[in-house]
Amino acid sequence: MKQEKPKVAGLDGCPAGWLLFYGYNNEFDFQLISSIKEAIPIFEQCRYIFIDIPIGLSSKAYQRQVEGQMRKLLQGRSSTIFTPPCREAIECKDYAVANEVNRQITGKGLSVQAFNISKKIAEVDTFLRSKRDFSLQESHPEISSKILKGNVLHTKKNTMAGQQERRDIIRSISPDLDLSVEKALGQYPKKMVRPDDIIDAAMLCLSAQTGMVYHTLVWKDTHYFDHEGIEVSIAAGEIQ
């Protein structure tokens, strides 16, 4: 940042890696990174970091259940909440194998959507198991949008109407952040970063900021920690 160190950040996965928004007060910037490790210099300056990726995974010794709470919050849009693969399944390169491994360990099959982001889940899981001194917190753009607007968004984020509705939320709270969104939308080709990836990352950055300034809602898993000792919870900032 130009004058102040960043205090909050939001990340979302994209075809080229990760789209990262970060900022302090009303000054924001963004960065496209190929790996989560590239964000360490930003992480070291942040108090709140929200990321749209499952943190804490099911395994033979632990069953993640926090998604049930999220689906109740998003009535009518609960399909946007998918059950993450177990830790053993993210190591599989073939979907059929991963699906069978996940079914054997959790009793449930694995969606193609969940399998498609297995590499990113594994990347963050490995990162957190080696570095736990960052306040990296799992969040969810649709939950964050609902909390900040006050009701569930029924538009889809990959449509023009859905993107406009989400940007309206961002703009109403932080016009400066929306200006950064506009800049990012014009900077990256869709094959590298999709428009909804940009908006999701910005929404999480906004949620992190409102959480830091006002209040953070946290939904904890039944057992709170997975078998590797990683905290399992989902956070979203609200304005009071």
CATH number where 150 lies: 3.30.420
Residue 1 lies in a domain: no
pTM of the predicted structure, to 2 decimals: 0.95
Residue 113 lies in a domain: no
Residue 198 lies in a domain: yes
The pair of structure tokens assigned to 143 is 């939950």
Residue 74 lies in a domain: no
Residue 142: phi, psi to the nearest 5?
Answer: -70, -35
Spell 37-72 as b/e; 16+ CB within 10 A means b.
eebeebbeebebbbbbbbbbbbbeebbbebbebbee
List Cα–Cα distances, 155 to 86, 177, 195, in angstroms.
Answer: 30, 21, 15
- pLDDT reading at 4 higher than 80: no
Domain that holds residue 167: 8-54+135-215
At residue 133 the predicted structure's pLDDT band, cuts being 50, 70 and 90, is confident
Residue 23 lies in a domain: yes
Residue 150 lies in a domain: yes
Residue 152 lies in a domain: yes
Could you count the other beta carbons within 10 Å of the beta carbon of residue 133? Answer: 7
- pLDDT reading at 132 higher than 80: no
Are 205 and 24 in contact, with CB atoms under 8 Å apart? Answer: no
Question: Structural domain tally of the chain?
Answer: 1
Query: pLDDT digits over 42-99, tens only?
Result: 999 999 999 999 999 999 999 999 999 999 999 999 999 999 999 999 999 999 999 9
**pLDDT value of residue 5:** 73
